[in-house]
Chain A
Amino acid sequence: MTNLETFRTETRAWLEANCPKEMRSSSNTEQDFCWGGRKWVFTCPAQKQWLEVMAAKGWTVPDWPVAYGGGGLSSEETKILKHEMFKLGCRSPLNSFGIWMLGPALLKFGTEEQKKHYLPQIARGEIRWCQGYSEPGAGSDLVSLQTFGADMGDHWLVNGQKVWTSYADQADWIFCLVRTDKNDKYRGISFLLFDMETKGVTTKPIKLISGSSPFCETFFDDVKVPKHQIVGELNRGWDVAKYLLGHEREMISGGGLGDGLASLGAAHEEVLVQEPMLRAQMAMFDIESMTFRAHSEKFLDEWKSGKAHPAYSNLMKYIGTELNKKRHELIMAVGGSDALEWESEASNQGSKPRSWLRTKANSIEGGTSEVMLNVVAKRILEMPGG
């Protein structure tokens, strides 16, 4: 047996022995996902147990170094672990912006002290992070952000407002873009980390068309941030932010993958027999969905071997999010009037229409589709103009 085959066998045995039964069904509601953090209330003891055993093994972040709370696995081993988890139906033990976004940025830009301090907390799900990027006047045009950090010697004094801060009301810490030089648009932004319980921080949820409030407005009024809580160099926070956005795009584009390998049409066979035009649309969607999976597979291979164009994740974000919106349009169409139910037992309190509405943000958050197309045209296709 090769090493990888041994690893697969051992991993499967370990998962079978350690993944609680309750954690082996697909997650249906937002509460089924574990986000961790100081304020997290576990939905059941099994959720807590699953997080703890996985974190102890370093498998909440399998490919991070062991020294920072990771599993130290190679990319092949990580793939095997994910595949085995998929086959057994194991839920992800921990969903986290710390894992998906901040962690990779800290690994690249953080000091050794920062890595040792923050990464293990992220891996164990002890700190829940939110992202302070957009402002009322700085959405797609993010570099216009105005939140200002005044240099007070041993700390910055931060004043301003952020918007679309995901789960800010439930987060423990924020990674935040703050202007530290008013004279240079790009090279005047710094990347700061601070506790949401710091004096002067307030949050207010925003109610969305889906009825839920995953985003907040966040206000900073004379918030003191110690100098050592900067990631990367002073005024070079834009480099960190861009790197991190690349990871965010990868994550959001994954939404188009839907639930693994299943055909959307196959799940609605009975309806489609009576609806030839819808059946045709489903078939076209299945083709696009298979295409996106093959495209993602190809892209990730190129990305890992360093051959992908640095702006390629913008393209994947565009395609993946548009596909996910299409997917939910079709789920609504197949559901017909049943899928209109907003408050009912049968509809699981309107999970279909709420999800459908939620997906409309996919092509806005993390860079709009239009901005993605701008970037692809200019950086990959090298179209002329400023």
Chain B
Amino acid sequence: MGINHTEEQNMLKDMVAPFLAENAPIKHLRNLRDTDDKTGFSRPLWKQFAELGLTGILIPETEGGLGLGHVEAGIVLEEIGRNLTPSPFLTTAVAGAEALKNASAEMRGNWYPKIASGDAIIGLAIDESSKHRPQAVELIAERLGNGFRLNGSKQFVLHGHVADVLLVSARTSGATDEEAGISLFAIARDTKGIEVQTDRLVDSQISARIKFENVELNADAIIGDIDCGWVPLQRLLNAGRIGAAAEMLGVGGGAMDITFEYLKTRKQFDHLIGEFQALQHRAAHLYGEMEGARAIVLKAQHLLDDDDSRAELFVAAAKAKAGLAANLAVREGVQMHGGVGMTDEYDIGLYMKRDRALAEFFGDINFQANRVALLNGY
């Protein structure tokens, strides 16, 4: 069996693509931005996601979800990227739902139905500095009676200000930068001692900086085993990375398509600018980069779904490659649009902004390349 989409997967795309193009095209993003919406995404739209089953895409069928995999989640994410739809899909339905697979039956029973129904949003509180270093956890979780007490801070928590539950990495033993000794907790955002500051990002999404001051938890807030949070965290990160990569396929693909369309309609020197070889070669090169990115993202999604031992390596390479290709697409897009590419009126700049945010999310190109080197043994 190859890595190309199956008939069923094509049907999913045929459902999701028109749904988002009709209900959440780029003007949907502009509208939220221009009305200074404080949620950062549309709750009615999220409810529609739930009605289509998409919020439960990775949740097992036996627990009320669709029981699909990363290939299918990627199909949705690519369309989200193409339409620049502001949505908690990646954080909640993909990375968050994936991490919860390692949670207790009780915790899953609590959150999965709410995620599937569109009533719960997950915030991922895993970064403590401006660059993604998931093992560098300084937020402390001390034993307190039968539970824990947390002190520390996190940043770049997308949708954190409206999240119902936060997945928080905390140090329960070991030194900073050690994978061992990290534990992962699921914490209701309204827990006492949690202070949230919101910031609007370059791509108009809303992110949070979160302080944890003597936040007290019961022992059952932990996901998986104590000191072994790296296991569910890796699960979260792999899902998040390949998900972000799939979204970047949509961002880069959307940017590329409107740019090629522009080359075929804009005239200068009495010629369509797409007739000029200088631009044709760059366009063809860009197309090749995006096609390669699509292939390795698909490959990594399949390996992840098959629980293959090479999945982590391919996920890192895919996030890096999708980042490289989408970045080229938005840079070439603005340049080839010329002056109008710098205006807010044209969409190409919005693609550039989302790409920048996705590039940092779950680790940038350099971070992923370093992972590739380490996993390859050098």
Contacts and interface: CB of A to CB of B under 8 A. Distances in A.
Contacts of B291: 295, 315
Given A272-B373, A301-B3, A315-B284, 19 more contacts: A266-B377, A283-B369, A284-B369, A286-B373, A287-B320, A287-B368, A287-B372, A290-B296, A291-B293, A291-B296, A291-B321, A301-B2, A318-B288, A376-B284, A383-B260, A384-B264, A385-B271, A385-B276, A385-B280
A383 B287 CA distance: 12
A141 interface: no
A283 B298 contact: no
A384 B288 contact: no
B274 interface: yes
Interface residues of A, number: 42
Contacts of A373: 280-281, 284-285
Contacts of B3: 294, 297-298, 301
Contacts of B39: none
B376 interface: yes
B284 A294 contact: no
B274 A383 contact: yes
Interface in B228-272: 260, 263-264, 271-272
Interface in A119-174: none
Interface in B273-314: 274-277, 280-281, 283-285, 287-288, 291-296, 298-299, 313-314
B377 to A, nearest CB: 5
Closest 8 CB pairs of A and B: A385-B275, A377-B280, A301-B2, A294-B299, A376-B284, A295-B295, A263-B376, A283-B373
Contacts of B283: 377, 381, 383
B282 to A, nearest CB: 9
B295 A383 contact: no
A283 B372 CA distance: 6
25 contacts: A263-B377, A263-B378, A265-B373, A266-B378, A280-B366, A283-B370, A286-B373, A287-B372, A290-B314, A290-B321, A290-B372, A291-B293, A291-B295, A294-B299, A294-B314, A297-B3, A307-B4, A319-B292, A376-B284, A376-B288, A377-B283, A377-B284, A380-B287, A384-B274, A384-B275
B378 A287 contact: no
Contact of A319 (B260, B263, B288, B299): B288
B296 to A, nearest CB: 4
A298 B295 contact: yes
Contacts of B277: 374
Interface string A301-335: 11000010000000100110000000000000000
A294 B245 CA distance: 15
Interface string A250-287: 00000000000001011011001100000110111011
B375 to A, nearest CB: 9
A184 interface: no
Given A377-B281, A377-B284, A384-B264, A286 B376 contact: yes
A326 B43 CA distance: 49
Nearest to A312: B291
Contacts of B294: 298
Contact of A286 (B284, B293, B317, B366): B317
A280 B295 contact: no
A376 to B, nearest CB: 4
A381 B373 CA distance: 35
Among A279, A292, A377, chain B packs the most CB atoms within 10 A around the CB of A377
Among B260, B287, B292, B366, chain A packs the most CB atoms within 10 A around the CB of B292
Contacts of A319: 288, 292
Nearest to A272: B378
A107 to B, nearest CB: 24
A295 B292 contact: yes
Interface of B: 2-4, 260, 263-264, 271-272, 274-277, 280-281, 283-285, 287-288, 291-296, 298-299, 313-314, 317, 320-321, 324, 366, 368-370, 372-373, 376-378
A378 interface: yes
A295 B300 CA distance: 12
A370 interface: yes
B264 to A, nearest CB: 6
A282 B378 CA distance: 9
Contact of A295 (B2, B296, B314): B296
A265 B378 contact: yes
Contacts of A374: 277, 280-281, 284
B316 to A, nearest CB: 8
B88 to A, nearest CB: 29
A381 B4 contact: no
Contact of B292 (A272, A273, A291): A291
Contacts of A283: 369-370, 372-373, 376
A373 to B, nearest CB: 4
Contacts of A279: 373, 378
A370 B277 CA distance: 10
A141 B320 CA distance: 37
Nearest to B276: A385
B189 to A, nearest CB: 37
B74 to A, nearest CB: 14
Contacts of A287: 317, 320-321, 324, 368-369, 372
Contacts of B296: 290-291, 294-295
Contacts of B285: 373
A272 B366 CA distance: 16
A326 to B, nearest CB: 14
Contacts of A382: 264
Contacts of B272: 384-385
A325 to B, nearest CB: 15
B299 A297 contact: yes
A382 B265 CA distance: 12
A288 B296 CA distance: 10
A65 B245 CA distance: 43
Given A291-B295, A319-B288, A381 B260 contact: yes
Interface string A35-51: 00000000000000000
Contacts of B281: 370, 373-374, 377
Contacts of B260: 381, 383
A381 B262 CA distance: 13
A383 B292 contact: no
A263 B313 CA distance: 11
A385 B274 contact: yes
A44 to B, nearest CB: 35
A247 to B, nearest CB: 20
